[in-house]
Structure 1
């Protein structure tokens, strides 16, 4: 009898150890995170090593509730970043879009900032441990005050060279991690503003942020297609020198939603050759869901299509959800927003913007595909 009790205790102890190891991601049952790639027919995403289609479902993590960019707080408030990633995971997300600022990752036109690169490595390891994929969007100049004077003084060729330095350095940190889903060259670039426009950041900021950026301020008689094509080729080639396995895209303004008959510049047959999928930003308009859906179809060009930004800004929650549902036949993923406040925290704020955010996050959580909830590994 004593021997039997000892044997039973040994089995129980082994079971507890195995369960603990699984929870920590140490057990053999823990499958490694598979890299996301474009399918062989170039139409969808699949997990590497299989033909299983993968649908993106996630959030932009572009700033916190106070409007601070990630690089403003990730050094001193790392625990907040870790907590935010866990909260994003709890919403059922499988992808997080992060936005890296040019001025924080370049010390000069030819030198990257090693401190920022190290912190990016920490973020990648956090993504691996929470099993969240990263859409790495670069070259942000969101806060004009953070844009280096030397950077804006560069001419087009030198500016593009500096951007290539940025992307080579970032790709060098990202290239070995399966948690890095893609590289988004820039958020909402425009080719130029015409012969007389000499400001790299066009128009007035939204709040205090500039989300749109020019590729050149010296047209030199070129078409927008020629400018965009040369830029895409320059930066995608720079990335592929370091990492030729990761999908590359550009975050596009949905001009087809603004101007009937508009064509997507970065999906022009020549411009978009180096790009692996379409990433476009759609905010449905109240009472115009049919028109918005028709505009979305313009971006179906035989590549995976991702709505990289969506939120109920110009339409009700119900209309935005309806658009999301009606877009399922056309897209391979949706990425909304998370600004560092949980649903209960937004509800406790007791104002309209936070109420809308809380209600929308609830819907996102409820709508999350069952297979988006990849197993969490607790480090």
Structure 2
């Protein structure tokens, strides 16, 4: 039996008494600068985990049909650690059988995940259109034109929003993880960016050359998907996960300039990993995403810095950020302490910080 699984099971059994009605819906505060619960208007600070893969590197859809008990335990453990939000990543190819045909079995399984979140008392940051595993991307999807691809993506989001519209357990829809507009006057050759750890996290929303400015194209894409969602769901928040090189600076740029693409988004998300000796620079980057709407650091981890510098960054980021989402990969701090890798030690240190400082970041003390 997994270490601490008995405690996790206890939390899960306790959470089973929670009903969807007891989870208040989340909305942007009246002043537009933070989040509040809809009924009580209490401050809500997203504090949670990316649950993007398990300890073996499998994506959620790879094991949710065969190992549901592990997912239940992981949700209970994340709740026990103090999380209130879990970021879920779902792949386009697992949810669509054709450009205009959603996969009903996948939508049904998503519905079961919503019920688990409701029972556990966790909100979901639902990130869609993933193409993380290249082998899971349908051949027909790669052959679509830019316009056809946007249409298929809109159908994906319409189906997902219809499935989720009734549930208060959705914190937000994240349109895509790290989208990029094709740059230059030449047609691109690959929808996906370079791989990292066997997965492709960056995805282009266009391949063809376009005379419009890149931020204008990005804003039009966002508008297309938001309109598809709003036909099914008028209530849940919508955002998109931006790379730090989305700012208009010298060098690499994504085309998703925050202040030029935010008009159709409820809040801004950035993925930011501070580097060794560059905490000040990371904070300056974060400041660039503070454009008058709530700002969530949707991905962060001591990947490129020491644990001490990472903690310094998180604490100082409170002057700009309104939420923080790190990572949890199915291993408790106790299990990680038994590990023998640097990665195990880093993750254990992060989870210790997360559990200890959660009340401070969430404004509970």
TM-score w.r.t. the length of structure 1 is 0.88
What is aligned with 1:366? 356
The structural deviation recorded for 1:51 is: 2.7
What is aligned with 1:153? 143
Which of 219, 222, 230 is residue 232 of structure 1 equivalent to? 222
Please say if residues 265 and 271 of structure 1, whose CA atoms lie closer than 8 Å, have aligned partners that are also in contact.
no
Matched, 1:124 2:114: yes
What is aligned with 2:17? 25
RMSD, aligned α-carbons? 2.3
CA distance in 1, matches of 2:33, 2:24: 19
**Structure 2 residues not aligned, in runs of 5+:** 1-12
Residue-by-residue CA offset, 1:288-308 (whole Å, 9 max, x unaligned):
111111111111111000000
Aligned residue runs from structure 1 range 2-13, under 5 A = none
Please say if residues 267 and 301 of structure 1, whose CA atoms lie closer than 8 Å, have aligned partners that are also in contact.
no
Query: Secondary structure in 2 aligned to 1:307?
Result: strand
Which of 272, 281, 287 is residue 277 of structure 2 equivalent to? 287
Matched, 1:343 2:328: no
What is aligned with 1:165? 155
What is aligned with 2:192? 201
Please say if residues 62 and 99 of structure 1, whose CA atoms lie closer than 8 Å, have aligned partners that are also in contact.
yes
**Structure 1 residues not aligned, in runs of 5+:** 1-20, 375-379
When residues 214 and 52 of structure 1 are mapped into structure 2, their CA distance, relative to the original with a 3 A threshold, is same
CA distance in 2, matches of 1:41, 1:240: 22
Give the number of equivalent residue pairs: 351
Residue-by-residue CA offset, 1:246-305 (whole Å, 9 max, x unaligned):
111110001168956998854555532110100001100111111111111111111000
TM-score w.r.t. the length of structure 2 is 0.91
CA distance in 1, matches of 2:81, 2:351: 7
What is aligned with 1:242? 232
When residues 184 and 49 of structure 1 are mapped into structure 2, their CA distance, relative to the original with a 3 A threshold, is same
Aligned residue runs from structure 1 range 83-102, under 5 A = 83-102=73-92
The structural deviation recorded for 1:360 is: 1.2
